[in-house]
Amino acid sequence: MDQKKLQYFTKKILEERDRITAALSHHEVEFEGTASTRSAEFEEASRLDRDREYISGLLTMDTEELSDINEALKRILDGTYGKCVDCGNDIPEPRLEVMPSTLRCLDCQRQNELRQEFDEETTPTTPPL
Ligand SMILES: [Zn+2]
Confidence band (pLDDT; 50, 70, 90) for 123? low
Whether 129 is covered by a domain: the verdict is no
Domain of 115 in residue numbering reads as: 3-122
Count how many domains the chain has: 1
Whether 72 is covered by a domain: the verdict is yes
SS (H, E, C) 52-71: HHHHHHHHHHHHHHHHHHHH
Confidence band (pLDDT; 50, 70, 90) for 42? confident
Confidence band (pLDDT; 50, 70, 90) for 36? low
Whether 91 is covered by a domain: the verdict is yes
Torsion, Cα of 60, 61, 65, 70 (10° steps):
-10
Q: At a CB cut-off of 8 Å and minimum separation 6, what does 89 contact?
A: 83, 105
Whether 90 is covered by a domain: the verdict is yes
- How far is the centre of ligand 1, averaged over its atoms, from the C-alpha of 12 (Å)? 22
**What is the rounded CA–CA span in Å between residue 65 and residue 71?**
10
pLDDT, tens digit, for every residue of 62-115? 999 999 999 999 999 999 999 999 999 999 999 999 999 999 999 999 999 999
- How far is the centre of ligand 1, averaged over its atoms, from the C-alpha of 28 (Å)? 33
- How far is the centre of ligand 1, averaged over its atoms, from the C-alpha of 118 (Å)? 19
Whether 127 is covered by a domain: the verdict is no
CATH number of the domain where residue 42 is located = 1.20.120.910
- How far is the centre of ligand 1, averaged over its atoms, from the C-alpha of 85 (Å)? 7
Q: Report yes or no: 76 and 8 within 8 Å, Cβ to Cβ.
A: no
